[in-house]
Amino acid sequence: MRPAHAHIDLDALRHNYRLARSRHGGRALAVVKANAYGHGAIPCAQALADIADGYAVAFLDEALALRAAGITAPILILEGVFDAAELATAAALQLWIVVHHEEQLRMLEAAPAGISVEAWLKINSGMNRAGFAPADALPAWQRLCHCGRVSNITLMTHFARADEPHVLFTASQIDTFETATAAIPGPRSLANSAAVLGWPAAHRDWARPGILLYGANPLPGADDGLQAVMTLESRVIAVREIDAGAPLGYGARFHASRRTRVGLVAMGYADGYPRSAPDGTPVAVDGAASALIGRVSMDMLTVDLTDLPAAGPGSRVELWGPQVAINRVAQAAGTIAYELLCNVKRVGFEYHRRDEGL
Ligand SMILES: *Cc1c(COP(=O)(O)O)cnc(C)c1O
């Protein structure tokens, strides 16, 4: 069997969720959109079921999958509903909906009597993507109150630059949100992962941690106590030696500067490992630091075993995980951990839980 796997450490996921909630205080929605950032939404949600205050997904179908899998806790739909039929389904399944634009307000006002949902009113405090303008916060809240279809209202906003600790844009967003909502009662939710870890001034009633649950710190360089949840790994399937000056792989991107032992690894961009990863991108071979050499192919990639004489066919290769921080791979490849994680596919997924069955 092909040795390419994603191991998912559900204890690490639980650790990270607890860390998020204790750093933030109050309650926390575990963000499991996009198949739990590539980790598997259902197993991840189930692993958190006894400790999570609730979940957040992007759209209705993601929530329906969780309900069908037996998740009974609150689930917030971050994009809200797209039409009246979705609103009716959301209400029937007691899903919570974000209301971020005029059309969604009108849907609620036009909904038949008997529909009742919990709404999160989203205010645009500076990201300028979704949400009501600050000046419209109070009128929108009043319309929600008066439409008779909303049981409870939470106020929320989302940060554009919370992952940049020294940039004051986040402080200005907090300020804009505070001013816009000063006259409105009810719980608040501001903090994504970066704000949970880096912006205590944004901590309110509800946190919305996503990426940190999966063990990747969105803030640069901080030692954070997070644990990697996914280990993407495979094995060396063949070894060859090439002479100094010899090319390696597609495009002959890499040329050996010395006689080089090349390990061929069963992992490629069709599995989600980034083709943009340059020579020198970190990997771990049987626990020892090494590096990618040569261009990543669809099904295979090559690593440098020259300084690891004990390594050979069958050696375990970690592409990211506890030994190779995914942020280092993302940085080398010119992307972010979010994208790498969401892209993992085709490999076998294995879920581990130490205390399973207890
Ligand atoms: C995705 C998302 C989050 C989680 O963001 P992270 O950076 O992964 O913590 C929180 N809030 C909203 C509105 C989102 O869309």
What dihedral angle (degrees, nearest 10) is formed by the CA atoms of 256, 260, 265, 268?
0
Q: Which residues fall within 8 angstroms of residue 114, CB to CB, at 6 or more apart? A: none
Nearest alpha carbon to residue 208 among 188, 226, 193, 227: 193
Q: Residues 210, 192: contact at Cβ < 8 Å?
A: yes
Q: Which fold has domain 230-352?
A: Lyase, Ornithine Decarboxylase; Chain A, domain 1 (2.40.37)
Q: Which residues fall within 8 angstroms of residue 31, CB to CB, at 6 or more apart? A: 55, 56, 57, 78, 208, 209, 210, 213
Pick one of 2.60.40.1080, 3.40.50.12160, 3.20.20.330, 3.20.20.10 as the CATH number of 10-214. 3.20.20.10
Binding residue positions: 129, 298
What is the position in ligand 1's atom list of the atom closest to the CA of 192? 9
The structure tokens 């490992």 sit at: 273
Q: Residues 36, 44: contact at Cβ < 8 Å?
A: yes
State if residue 281 touches ligand 1 by the CB under 6 angstroms criterion. Answer: no
**CA-CA distance, 199 to 107, in Å (whole number)?**
35
Axis-axis angle for helices 137-147, 169-181 (nearest 10): 50
State if residue 327 touches ligand 1 by the CB under 6 angstroms criterion. Answer: no
Q: Residues 192, 147: contact at Cβ < 8 Å?
A: no
pLDDT at residue number 358 = 44
CATH 3.20.20.10 positions along the chain are: 10-214
* Residue of 24, 37, 57, 78 with the most ligand 1 atoms within 8 Å of its CB, for mutation: 78
State if residue 24 touches ligand 1 by the CB under 6 angstroms criterion. Answer: no
CATH 2.40.37.10 positions along the chain are: 230-352
Q: Which residues fall within 8 angstroms of residue 131, CB to CB, at 6 or more apart? A: 100, 101, 122, 123, 124, 125, 157, 158
Q: What is the distance in A from the centroid of ligand 1 to the CA of 195? A: 10
What is the position in ligand 1's atom list of the atom closest to the CA of 31? 4
| Residuewise pLDDT in 10s, the chain (358 residues) | 999 999 999 999 999 999 999 999 999 999 999 999 999 999 999 999 999 999 999 999 999 999 999 999 999 999 999 999 999 999 999 999 999 999 999 999 999 999 999 999 999 999 999 999 999 999 999 999 999 999 999 999 999 999 999 999 999 999 999 999 999 999 999 999 999 999 999 999 999 999 999 999 999 876 689 999 999 999 999 999 999 999 999 999 999 999 999 999 999 999 999 999 999 999 999 999 999 999 999 999 999 999 999 999 999 999 999 999 999 999 999 999 999 999 999 999 999 998 654 4
State if residue 213 touches ligand 1 by the CB under 6 angstroms criterion. Answer: no
Q: What is the distance in A from the centroid of ligand 1 to the CA of 208? A: 6
**Residue 306: Cβ within 10 Å count:** 17
Backbone phi, psi, residue 237, to 5°: -110, -10
CB burial readout 88-118, b (16+ within 10 A) else e: bbbbebebbbbbbeeebbebbeebeeebebb
State if residue 218 touches ligand 1 by the CB under 6 angstroms criterion. Answer: yes
**Residue 71: Cβ within 10 Å count:** 21
> Any idea what DSSP says for residue 271?
G
pLDDT at residue number 354 = 87
What is the position in ligand 1's atom list of the atom closest to the CA of 211? 8
What is the position in ligand 1's atom list of the atom closest to the CA of 37? 8
Annotated catalytic residue, options 33, 122, 214, 338: 33
pLDDT at residue number 223 = 65
CB burial readout 60-70, b (16+ within 10 A) else e: bebbbbbeeee
State if residue 192 touches ligand 1 by the CB under 6 angstroms criterion. Answer: yes
State if residue 217 touches ligand 1 by the CB under 6 angstroms criterion. Answer: no
pLDDT at residue number 356 = 56
Atom 15, ligand 1: which residue's CA is nearest? 78
pLDDT at residue number 357 = 46
State if residue 31 touches ligand 1 by the CB under 6 angstroms criterion. Answer: yes
**Residue 251: Cβ within 10 Å count:** 9
Binding residue positions for substrate: 129, 298
Nearest alpha carbon to residue 280 among 300, 259, 253: 253
Q: Residues 302, 294: contact at Cβ < 8 Å?
A: yes
**CA-CA distance, 131 to 29, in Å (whole number)?**
19
* Residue of 16, 19, 31 with the most ligand 1 atoms within 8 Å of its CB, for mutation: 31
Q: Residues 265, 302: contact at Cβ < 8 Å?
A: yes
Q: Residues 269, 343: contact at Cβ < 8 Å?
A: no
3-state helix, strand, coil in the chain (%, to 5): 30, 25, 45
Classify 119 as helix, strand or coil: strand
What dihedral angle (degrees, nearest 10) is formed by the CA atoms of 260, 264, 269, 272?
-110
Q: What is the distance in A from the centroid of ligand 1 to the CA of 356? A: 29
Atom 4, ligand 1: which residue's CA is nearest? 210
Active site residue 122: no
What is the position in ligand 1's atom list of the atom closest to the CA of 162? 7
Name the helix (H) or strand (E) containing 284.
Answer: strand 282-285
